């Protein structure tokens, strides 16, 4: 049996081109700066507006994972069903798109938050 | 015989999860010619005003069920109607799908809430739900009637059983969340206004009041 090596190499190249490599996201390096710049002003105890309204503190990883008084905002490995992602992506009603009363996050920041959740929302 | 066993199993499964929220007074699920009907009477352990507020808080509708991945209040020229679009991402057996549900919600003069599917914007063929919400002392009695005709393929025999199971499960999850969020809201409001509940009970006639 003959194997066409040129064809095989081409196939390998095509396949490797099709596989999208998703970057590894770190909470401390990538996620926390986004939260600090856009969310923490309101979501910080004791007097942040968002904290007072929902109980969600973003001061630490543990606080974020605890969620609001209504429940968690992160579903590990599931950005589609995570409320944090839903709200920053504007998938819930636009009037409650986060950050509230400010410009929406840049698409790259939204993607970082999604990847972080999809990769297990680790404290890394 | 297999089908009878499955329905018996369904009965067992249904009643084992009934205590998920509040107290179920009556539950009936049926299916005929592609149309599913669910009747549920429940007493939620939360005050009427808070339960009513949670059910009509359309902006935060995603809180009621984790299957909701998108929601939007749409424009409608009729002020008496709130048009809500929800995208529900869920699986029945191995079949996962996205259900687009656009419904017109009306609060009737009686305090009841009537929601009807707008089929041209939904991938649900037809459907309607009526919520009758009444105060019952410090609790709330809800009569919920749902009629739903899915627009998607449901496999025969096991399919209709699975849809009924799914409907039951999702309704119980939603009611459990309504009760939980209403109780949280009540605690928050009470913290700011400790006499609120007393005032509420004075203002809203309940069945206990009538009995006395």
Question: How confident is the model over B123-147, as pLDDT tens digits?
Answer: 999 999 999 999 999 999 999 999 9
Nearest chain B residue to A93, by CA: B72
**Tens digit of pLDDT for each residue in A59-79?**
999 999 999 999 999 999 999
**What string of DSSP letters covers B56-85?**
T-GGGGGGS-TTEEEEEEEP-S-TTEEEEE
Other Cβ atoms less than 10 A from the Cβ of B46: the count is 24
Q: Closest to B69 (Cβ–Cβ): which among A69, A80, A94?
A: A80
Note whether A91 contacts B70, CB cutoff 8 Å: yes
Q: CA angle, corner A87, sides to A121 and B96, nearest 5?
A: 70
Please give the model's pTM, rounded to 2 decimal places: 0.80
Nearest chain A residue to B187, by CA: A69
Q: Is B137 left (phi over 0), alpha (psi -120 to 50) or beta?
A: left
**Tens digit of pLDDT for each residue in A8-29?**
555 555 555 545 556 789 999 9
β-bridge mates for residue B74, sequence order? B83
Alpha carbon distance B154, B20 (integer Å): 27
Note whether A80 contacts B73, CB cutoff 8 Å: no
Interface of B with A (CB under 8 A): 58-60, 62-63, 66-67, 69-73, 87, 89, 180-181, 184, 188
Task: Decide if pLDDT at B7 tops 70.
Answer: no
Q: Closest to A81 (Cβ–Cβ): which among B69, B73, B180?
A: B69
CA distances from B211 to B48, B137, B206 (A): 18, 11, 9
Task: Decide if pLDDT at B14 tops 50.
Answer: no
Note whether A95 contacts B188, CB cutoff 8 Å: no
Question: What's the pLDDT at A1?
Answer: 46
Note whether A80 contacts B89, CB cutoff 8 Å: yes
Kindly report whether the peptide bond that precedes residue B173 is cis, defined as omega within 30 degrees of 0: no
* CA-based nearest distance A97→chain B, Å: 11
Question: What's the pLDDT at B198?
Answer: 57
Q: Residue A93, exposed/middle/buried by CB under 10 A (0-12, 13-18, 19+)?
A: buried
ipTM above 0.90, yes or no: no
Note whether B62 contacts A75, CB cutoff 8 Å: no
pLDDT band at A7 (very low <50, low <70, confident <90, very high): low
Question: Closest Cα partner for A102 from A28, A50, A54, A56?
Answer: A50
The count of residues in chain B is 212
Alpha carbon distance B46, A13 (integer Å): 61
Note whether B59 contacts A80, CB cutoff 8 Å: no
**What string of DSSP letters covers A23-66?**
PP--IIIIIHHHHHHHTTTTS-TTT-HHHHHH----SSHHHHHH
């Amino acid at each position: 049996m003959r194997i066409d090596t040129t064809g095989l190499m081409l196939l390998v190249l095509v396949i490797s081109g099709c596989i999208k490599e998703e970057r590894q996201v770190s909470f401390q390096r990538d996620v926390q700066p986004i939260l600090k710049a856009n969310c923490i002003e309101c979501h910080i105890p004791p007097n942040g507006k968002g904290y007072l309204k929902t109980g969600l503190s973003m001061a630490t990883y543990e606080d974020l994972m605890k969620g609001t008084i209504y429940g968690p905002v992160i579903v590990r490995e599931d950005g589609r069903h995570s409320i944090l992602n839903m709200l920053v992506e504007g998938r819930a009603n636009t009037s409650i798109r986060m950050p509230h009363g400010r410009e929406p996050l840049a698409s790259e920041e939204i993607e970082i938050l999604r990847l972080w959740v999809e990769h297990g929302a680790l404290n890394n | 015989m297999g089908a009878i066993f499955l329905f018996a199993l369904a009965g067992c499964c249904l009643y084992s999860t009934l205590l998920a929220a509040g107290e179920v007074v009556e539950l009936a699920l049926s299916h005929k010619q592609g149309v599913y009907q669910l009747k549920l009477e429940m007493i939620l352990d939360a005050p009427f005003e808070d339960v009513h507020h949670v059910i009509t808080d359309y902006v935060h509708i995603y809180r009621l069920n984790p299957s909701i991945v998108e929601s939007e209040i749409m424009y409608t020229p009729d002020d008496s109607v709130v048009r809500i679009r929800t995208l529900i991402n869920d699986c029945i057996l191995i079949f996962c799908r996205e259900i687009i549900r656009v419904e017109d919600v009306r609060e009737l003069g009686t305090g009841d809430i009537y929601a009807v599917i707008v089929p041209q914007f939904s991938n649900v063929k037809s459907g309607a739900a009526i919520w009758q919400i009444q105060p019952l002392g410090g609790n709330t009695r809800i009569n919920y009637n749902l009629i739903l005709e899915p627009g998607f393929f449901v496999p025969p025999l096991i399919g209709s059983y699975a849809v009924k199971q799914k409907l039951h499960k999702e309704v119980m999850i939603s009611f459990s969340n309504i009760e939980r969020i209403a109780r949280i809201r009540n605690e928050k409001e009470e913290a700011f206004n400790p006499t609120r509940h007393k005032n509420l009970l004075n203002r809203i006639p309940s069945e206990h009041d009538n009995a006395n």
